[in-house]
Amino acid sequence: MKSPRQTTTTRGFSRAATLMQKSIRKASEDRGFAVTRLLTHWSEVVGDAVAGVSTPVNVSYGKGGMGATLTLLTTGAQAPMLEMQKEQIREKVNACYGYRAISRVRITQTAPTGFAQGRAAFVTAPKQPKSPTPAMQSTADDLSRGIENERLRTALATLGANVLNNKPGQS
């Protein structure tokens, strides 16, 4: 007896991660990264603070094969801060590899070859939203006054105050 035919819900589509997996693996192996997770999940490996100011560009292995050197790219102002955290970065990266693969972390401020073509574009700190003025909040409350559901009314009033607060031309 034949088993019932299995149907898929993807309808011929594939995940982007699946399509890019071979390309990412080849590019990362060319740069010495045996574990691509180090590149794709850099902020999870070392934390948001370090990932925001650095990016891994190379893993080079010595002639003796005893431990590798991880090269990080950063901007000039952040290099001294990363220099003080090299030991913690090395421990976190080795935890990602599962063994003591990295014996040395090197900080560079020069352009890497390959990945970013010389541009060091790191994540900037998010802008802090300004809080709405009492007049804007009052206007938003007036506009949502006819809503019976209290949770919906509060949510709409908050949304309205934020929209009024972010209108161009107002400070």
The count of structural domains within the chain is 2
User: Which percentage of the chain shows pLDDT scores above 90?
Assistant: 10
6 part of a folded domain: no
In which domain, by residue range, is 77 found? 17-108
Predicted local distance difference test score (pLDDT) of residue 151: 92
Residues 75 and 36 in one domain: yes
Residues 52 and 98 in one domain: yes
Q: Is a pLDDT exceeding 90 seen at residue 36? A: no
68-74 and 102-108: which strand pairing? parallel
Residues 104 and 143 in one domain: no
Helix (H, G, I), strand (E, B) or coil at 98: coil
> What is d(CA 38, CA 44) in angstroms, rounded to the nearest whole number?
9
Provide Rg for the chain, Cα atoms.
Answer: 25
Provide long-range contacts, Cβ within 8 A and 24+ apart, for 69-72. Answer: 69/102, 69/103, 69/104, 69/105, 69/106, 70/102, 70/104, 70/105, 70/106, 71/106, 71/107, 71/108, 71/112, 72/105, 72/106, 72/107, 72/108
Q: Is a pLDDT exceeding 70 seen at residue 114? A: no
124 part of a folded domain: no
